[in-house]
Amino acid sequence: MASFGLKVIRLALSGMAAVSPDAAGRAAFRIFATTPARRPRTVKEKALFARSEGWMRQAQRVTLEFGGRTAVAHRFATRPCEAFAGRVLVVHGWGSRAAYLSVLTEELVAAGHEVVALDLPGHGAARGRTLTLPMAVRAIDAAWQRFGGFDYFCGHSFGGAALACAASGLVPSVPAHRPRRLVTIGSPSEMTWLFKDLGRYLKLGPQAQAALEGHVERIAGAPLSAFDAASGAGRLDTPMLVLHAEDDKEVPAHHARRYAAAGPNVTLEWANGFGHRRIVSAAPVIDRIVGFFAEDRQRIAA
C-alpha cells in the first residue's frame, strides 16, 4: 500500500500534469535526483556505520571539485608489509556511502591494494542534495585525474552502473577511463528501465512521462537509450565480473543477465540469498572480488 506521502506526491503531479505535462516531468526529475537523508535507515545500518568509524578514520580524505559539484574520496594506503596489488576505485550505491562498503575495502587493503572509496555528491561526507548518473561519472573522472588512474573498478548498485558507463565513455564530454578489470555488484544495466520504473512508481501519464524523459535527455546531452551500461561493457575488452542475487528486490536479476549477454568479456556469478544490500558484506562475494583481481596479476606475471 502506498504511503500517505507518496499519495500526496502522485496527486500533486497528476494535477500539475493536467495544466503542464512538462512541469510535471521536471518536478518528477527533481524528486528522482534529490538524494535521501543520510541517517541510517535501519538498526543494522546504524550498527554497520558504527563499526566502520574506526576504519574510515584511517583514510586520507580528499575533496574532489568538478563542475560546481563536490565528491569526497577516502584513500586507504597499502600496508607496508604487503606487496602492491594495484589501485582500486570503489563506488557505493544510491542512498549509501563509502562507509557502507567498509568490509570490502578492508579486505582489499589486506590483499595489498590501495583503495579509493568515493562518497558521491549528496552522499556521505560530500556536500549537496542532488545526484545524477552524469554527475557520478564526472566524479569518477575527477577521482581518476586526482589519483592518476585505477587498475580496477568495483561498484555496488548505482555505483557499479556509473563505473561501467565511465569505462565505456557513455557520458558526453567525459573521456572513457578503462581499468584492467571491472566488478559490478547488484547493478542496473541501463537507464531507460530506471525512468520507466520511476514513472510507474509516481503514476505519471504518457505526456508527463515523455516530458520527464525529454528533460533527462536535455540534461544528459544524449538519448536515454545511450546510457546502456551492459551494451557499453560488451564493447570493452576489459574482463568484467557481474555479481548479483536472484533474490535482489531492488535491482531485478534480468539486469545481470543483460550484462552477461553483452559480450564474452563478461562473467556472471550468482550470489543468491544475499539480496541487494547484504551482498556487499558477504564473505563469499568479497573473496570472489579479491580473487578476480588477483587473477589479473597472475596473468601478467605468467
Enumerate domains of the chain plus CATH numbers.
Answer: 1-34+198-221 (no CATH), 44-190+227-301 (3.40.50.1820)
Report residue 34 CA to chain centroid gap: 16
Span 228-241, pLDDT tens digits? 999 999 899 899 99
Strand partners, 26: none
Alpha carbons 60 and 51: distance in angstroms, whole number: 18
Span 156-172, pLDDT tens digits? 999 999 999 999 999 99
Mean pLDDT for all residues in the chain: 93
Span 243-253, pLDDT tens digits? 999 999 999 99
Q: Taking 90 as the threshold, does the pLDDT of residue 281 lie above it?
A: yes
Report the predicted TM-score, pTM, of the whole model to 2 decimal places. Answer: 0.94
Span 206-230, pLDDT tens digits? 999 999 999 999 988 888 888 999 9
Alpha carbons 54 and 57: distance in angstroms, whole number: 5
Cell 581518476 belongs to: 144
Alpha carbons 100 and 151: distance in angstroms, whole number: 22
Alpha carbons 82 and 94: distance in angstroms, whole number: 33
204: CB partners within 8 A, 6+ apart: 13, 17, 24, 25, 28, 198, 212
**Type of residue numbered 120:** L
Contact 183, 153 (CB under 8 A): yes
Number of CB atoms found within 10 A of residue 220's CB = 19
Alpha carbons 96 and 94: distance in angstroms, whole number: 5
Least trusted range by pLDDT, from 16-20, 114-118, 153-157:
16-20
